[in-house]
Amino acid sequence: MLDRIRDGGPVSRAQIARETGLSKPTVSQALTTLERSRLVRQAGRSSGGKGPTALLYELNPAAGWVVGIDVGREYVRAAVADLTGRIVAQRRQAARARSARSLITSIGSVARSAADAAGVRWRRITVAAVGSPGVFGSAGHPLLAHNLPGWTREGVLDEIRTELATGVVFENDVNLAALGERWRGIGRTVDDFVFFHVGTGVGLGIVVGGELFKGANGAAGEVAYLPLAAADPHDRANRRRGALETAIGADGVLATARRAGLRGVDSAADVFRAAREGDAKASKAVETVAAGIALGIAAIVPVLDPALVILGGGIGRNADLLREPIERELRAFSPFRPRIEASALGEEAELMGAVSLALDAAQERLFSRVDAGRGVAV
């Protein structure tokens, strides 16, 4: 019932009974409990139609508050939302990523700053969802997060929990981007799609049957390690970062541009800017990167058969320059023609995914408290 009210907006008792198959007395009893716990509130009466109007119910926005936090190499961002998913405040600050300790301090600072901006006392935050590079499996700390100094050492996750002093859930940032697109992006109506992140790092968020697919150890989508690029997969550097990431990640774009003879560029953004301005060497570098992205897509599609490939990340978002050469390369060496689109949420994808994950966790936590108060086993 709570899922139905959250997802469908104001709804009557009769509608809930009809759509859930529950009896009307059961619905009435459950609504009384949800109202008493302040998870649900009355939202006026239905209008129009024949017969008497019906009392409507909706999720109480202030029943809980959540924070989504996106941790990157350059910035830490946070967004505060009420229980309906309405974003009430956002904050961003440069990441002090010299060490894990300084980055954790930044996480606490930006999260509390966002709560202050929303006018929400921190003790009222039910759940914070933290997304960052790395694999969050059973090790108790992130793995394969080489872009964040010290992030893979023991105890990092416990230190974040201590810093935030609330319920905390963790997830890979690219997985969160996929959840963000599923919640509020172009993945809303697509049950099977992938989010191909190409930026500082390279990764894949996989949605199958409308749900995030993480694999046995949380490493599903670590396509940076596909041995597809021209680089030697046995090279120790490529084993650390992954051959595909070495070729098409931010550092790879810059190296490709310099090999093409482009001078005066210090970042991947500079390369794409030069290409838009008509620089032939920059355009050649972009085409090379597009070919690498196409190779990655060609390897992914026969395995997962997604209905949609969403390009995201600081590099992947340059779809105006990348889409045509990617599709041309795919026509040249692959029989598969996936639909390819740029992320609808842009750099907000990870943050929206973090809020979405926090909302799910908060609803479970709040509902468990309601049932615990009634003496019902969950």
Distance between terminal CA atoms of the chain? Answer: 15
Same domain, 125 and 264: no
- At 60, is the pLDDT very low, low, confident or very high (cuts 50, 70, 90)? confident
* Distance between CA atoms of residues 147 and 332, nearest Å: 34
Note whether residue 68 is domain-resident: yes
Note whether residue 319 is domain-resident: yes
Q: Is the pLDDT of residue 370 over 70?
A: no
Lowest mean pLDDT among 253-257, 306-310, 337-341, 362-366: 362-366
Same domain, 200 and 322: yes
Same domain, 75 and 224: no
- At 378, is the pLDDT very low, low, confident or very high (cuts 50, 70, 90)? very low
Q: Which two tokens stand for residue 236?
A: 């120790």
Q: Is the pLDDT of residue 372 over 80?
A: no
In 200-233, which positions are buried (b, 16+ CB within 10 angstroms) versus exposed (e)?
Answer: bbbbbbbbeeeebbbeeebbbbbbbbbebbebee
Q: Is the pLDDT of residue 119 over 90?
A: yes
Number of independent structural domains in the chain: 3
Note whether residue 168 is domain-resident: yes
Same domain, 209 and 263: yes
Note whether residue 256 is domain-resident: yes
Note whether residue 277 is domain-resident: yes
Pairing verdict, β 125-132 and 202-208: unpaired
Same domain, 272 and 235: yes
Q: Which amino acid is at 226?
A: L
In this predicted structure, what is the pLDDT of residue 130? 96
Same domain, 23 and 39: yes
Note whether residue 226 is domain-resident: yes
* Distance between CA atoms of residues 62 and 140, nearest Å: 32
Average pLDDT (330-341) is 93
CATH of the domain at 208: 3.30.420.40
Phi/psi of residue 134, nearest 5 degrees: 120, 165
- At 377, is the pLDDT very low, low, confident or very high (cuts 50, 70, 90)? very low
Lowest mean pLDDT among 138-142, 175-179, 198-202, 235-239: 235-239
Same domain, 229 and 328: yes
Same domain, 81 and 164: yes
Model's pTM, two decimal places?
A: 0.87
Q: Is the pLDDT of residue 52 over 80?
A: no
Q: Is the pLDDT of residue 317 over 70?
A: yes
Note whether residue 375 is domain-resident: no
Query: What are the E-state strand segments in the chain?
Result: 11-12, 40-45, 55-59, 65-71, 75-82, 87-94, 125-132, 167-172, 193-198, 202-208, 211-213, 308-312, 339-342
In this predicted structure, what is the pLDDT of residue 281? 96
In this predicted structure, what is the pLDDT of residue 72? 86
Q: Which two tokens stand for residue 268?
A: 């991947």
Note whether residue 11 is domain-resident: yes
Q: Is the pLDDT of residue 341 over 90?
A: yes
Same domain, 327 and 359: no
Percentage of the chain lying above the pLDDT 70 cut = 91
Q: Which two tokens stand for residue 366?
A: 């709040």
In this predicted structure, what is the pLDDT of residue 162? 95
Q: Which of 64, 17, 10, 69 is nearest to 37 (CA)?
A: 64
Average pLDDT (237-254) is 84
Q: What's the pLDDT tens digit per position in 139-188?
A: 667 888 877 878 888 888 999 999 999 999 999 999 999 999 999 999 99
Pairing verdict, β 75-82 and 65-71: antiparallel
Same domain, 236 and 287: yes
Same domain, 123 and 240: no
Are 349 and 303 within 8 A, CB to CB? Answer: no
Angle at 326 between CA 335 and CA 235, to 5 degrees: 95
Average pLDDT (126-151) is 83
- At 376, is the pLDDT very low, low, confident or very high (cuts 50, 70, 90)? very low
Whole domain around residue 290: which residue ranges? 186-344
* Distance between CA atoms of residues 72 and 200, nearest Å: 9
**Residue 324, CA distances (Å) to 203, 314, 334 in order:** 21, 18, 15
Average pLDDT (26-46) is 87
In this predicted structure, what is the pLDDT of residue 48? 63
In this predicted structure, what is the pLDDT of residue 150? 82
CATH of the domain at 54: 1.10.10.10
Are 228 and 299 within 8 A, CB to CB? Answer: yes
In this predicted structure, what is the pLDDT of residue 375? 40
Please give the torsion angle defined by the CA atoms of residues 179, 95, 341 and 212, in that order, rounded to the nearest 10 degrees. -20
Q: Is the pLDDT of residue 233 over 80?
A: no
Same domain, 298 and 222: yes
